[in-house]
Chain A
């Protein structure tokens, strides 16, 4: 047992830190409603990482990645968050899901065309998995694809497609065999978002943000060569990397959470408490802050434990679902604590004020226990796959 990193890993850390210090964009990330600005900013940053040799740290070298070990990835994402580097949002699906899926299951032609474009920051990918009637029960998806010569003709609807209106490509799950058992008749296809017949409509979330889209498909023609993996085998293709969806990149979110908690403690030292004195002097608030920090420390230890288990066994462990559930609920506890600390300021909207930022964060955090598998689904996964309970 050891909680220190090796000399080689520390050297890697020094390289990463030096490069990030010199290259992380100084200007603020566009936060406005125009997603094009966010996209351009993210892609410019991606290109910069590519030129610096830091694009796709977890991708194998033969596909242009850094080929970093699991521990090096841990270090990279820690340094990435510490340097205040941009959160990965518009480029997330390409780098952390579609790209790794192509690496695992794509044809030589698919890999040669798409992987360099993702790494270089030429394109944005989005996800087309969920449907209005296929959320937690994803395998019940109904968007259908019929064969017409060398093409699939796709009709149906997808939903919760983040950044769908600024993406070039989509990883799309369609039902290619309606007769087969529901997990067997699905195919994973690459869909060009400028194809005729696609209609994209933004959805306004409860925060007022518009990064989610509904996507409608009206006889959209997709070449059969865009099928990734075997035809009708899309469920397995999608699951091949779903477990890695967050992977080591998750470390950055944790570091950001730790930093936000420090900010919250500073806030609690500066605002009045529910009775006399500062908020942080209140017994309950002080203890809740201390407990949250203990839980953030535990989260980091859990991640280190999970990664060291994966290093040892060569496969990601089932405890990833435990970490995911714990993280999502911890984020919400911290946001809730922030609103309690703020008192009446929590409901007064002064744009740009710290209070408004915490209120926005609290609202945005409600999605933590919904997206990527609701907390109920996460508990099912833990019960079924980690504990082996009967279904």
Chain B
């Protein structure tokens, strides 16, 4: 039993944090939070060169040979830094493509950062279940940056090049200025059917979205604490007032709850523990709740500054809402958790 980061995992975290800190703070200072495609190409290439996109791939397949917990570490950092880009779809694609001989080159391109993948979560097979896709998939995160769409159906997994015939992509803004959406329409679009099962891929996605939310819960806690130590009113730092201090304490509780259950779920899923599916839903619920509540409190703790566009506080809250609507809302996950209990 060990839920702490190993020294190797700590060095992954520090390396990722260092690169993201250096790249993204500069970007924000320039005022443009997201590039046109919703992708910071220089950062993406650097991330690929550093092996971030293939963390859980076997070394024989060109990856680092780690697993879901290490991908979780990456996504916590992506959340902390509000990194733009189709990270989730691209990392999931490496899970789905590995071991498929026909996709060996495609996988190599994905890991090398030459092919971006956006994920279409379609648990009701709204675009069909076969190898020709027809239907609309709306609000696909980072869809405009995608070279390929990874479509997770109820059971089946398919991939479709964004440039294939019958694929129409219309990008639009979202609530979150750092994440663009796309409405994707498939008209009898040819898809490649993959041997992967959508159910475990969807669970991995939930853990990674939860990890990104955890990053937001952590980062907003730290931002609030730092501000409460330096901002003075009534001749004292505001963090000395219990109203502010206790709000920060509640943020710390939420962050610790999220950190613990997300870590536990990631390891349980890696090890195929029987209770893992339940813990994945729990991690998604608790981590997005923590992100939303902490980001909200972080705006409050920053007072008037927190209400400005210039401050980062609103960006964390907006990203938290994007994550709430990625791979199932809290209500949906609570219903999924309650269902077997109602039957039992």
Contact = CB atoms under 8 A, between A and B. Distances in A.
A3 B337 contact: no
Contacts of A305: 3-4, 259-260, 263-264
Interface stretch (B145-153, B155-163, B167-175, B245-253): B245-253
B240 A391 contact: yes
Given A289-B341, A301-B261, A390-B240, A2 B252 contact: no
Given A1-B263, A390-B236, 13 more contacts: A1-B6, A1-B69, A286-B335, A287-B331, A290-B334, A291-B334, A294-B286, A297-B261, A297-B279, A305-B259, A387-B245, A388-B229, A389-B228
B212 interface: no
B9 interface: yes
A308 interface: yes
Contacts of B228: 389
Nearest to A296: B282
B245 A379 contact: yes
A265 B344 contact: yes
Contact of A383 (B245, B264, B267): B245
A72 to B, nearest CB: 11
Given A265-B344, A287-B338, A290-B338, A302 B1 contact: no
A263 interface: no
Contacts of A312: 2, 4
B1 A3 contact: yes
Nearest to A381: B249
Can you list the 10 inter-chain pairs with the closest CB atoms, starting with the nearest? A294-B282, A383-B245, A290-B337, A301-B264, A301-B260, A389-B239, A286-B338, A382-B249, A379-B249, A305-B3
Interface in B305-322: none
Interface of B: 1-6, 9, 69, 221, 225, 228-229, 236-237, 239-240, 242, 245-246, 248-250, 252-253, 256-261, 263-264, 266-268, 271, 273, 278-279, 281-282, 285-286, 331, 334-335, 337-338, 341-342, 344
Q: At the interface, is chain B mostly helix, strand, loop or mixed?
A: helix
A1 B245 contact: no
Given A269-B344, A304-B264, A389-B228, A4 B250 contact: no
Nearest to B236: A390
A78 to B, nearest CB: 11
B257 A265 contact: no
A324 B266 CA distance: 24
Contact of B261 (A280, A291, A298, A307): A298
Nearest to B331: A287
Contacts of A295: 257, 286
Nearest to A305: B3
A198 interface: no
A297 B277 CA distance: 13
A309 interface: yes
A350 B240 CA distance: 49
Contact of B341 (A5, A286, A304): A286
B3 A308 contact: yes
Nearest to B270: A1
Contacts of B337: 290, 293-294
Contacts of A379: 242, 245-246, 249-250
Looking at B236, B249, B250, B257, the one whose CB has the most chain A CB atoms below 10 A away is B249
A137 interface: no
13 contacts: A1-B267, A4-B271, A281-B342, A298-B260, A304-B264, A305-B260, A312-B2, A379-B246, A380-B246, A383-B242, A383-B246, A389-B225, A389-B245
Nearest to A384: B245
A322 interface: yes
Nearest to B279: A297
Interface of A: 1-5, 9, 71, 74, 265, 269, 280-281, 286-287, 289-291, 293-295, 297-298, 300-302, 304-305, 307-309, 311-312, 319, 322-323, 325-326, 376, 378-380, 382-384, 386-391
B1 A389 contact: no
A319 B254 CA distance: 12
Contacts of B338: 280, 286-287, 289-290
Nearest to B266: A1
Given A301-B264, A305-B4, A386 B252 contact: yes
Q: Which of B1, B258, B281 has the most chain A CB within a 10 Å cutoff? A: B1
A391 B246 CA distance: 12
B141 to A, nearest CB: 25
Given A265-B341, A298-B282, A383-B248, A5 B260 contact: no
Contacts of B256: 302, 319, 322-323, 326
A74 B2 CA distance: 13
Contacts of A71: 1
Contacts of A4: 1, 271
Contact of A376 (B236, B242, B258): B242
A382 B253 contact: yes
Contacts of B250: 379
A384 B228 CA distance: 12
Given A3-B264, A390-B239, A380 B245 contact: yes
Nearest to A323: B256
B282 A326 contact: no
Nearest to B341: A265
A90 B10 CA distance: 44
A198 B340 CA distance: 57
A283 B156 CA distance: 31
B245 to A, nearest CB: 4
A322 B253 contact: yes
A38 B268 CA distance: 41
A309 B10 CA distance: 14
Given A1-B6, A297-B282, A380-B245, A390 B237 contact: yes
Given A298-B282, A383-B246, A322 B341 contact: no
Contacts of B236: 390
Contact of A388 (B225, B263, B286): B225
Nearest to B244: A389
A281 B338 CA distance: 9
Nearest to B6: A1
Contacts of A383: 239, 242, 245-246, 248-249
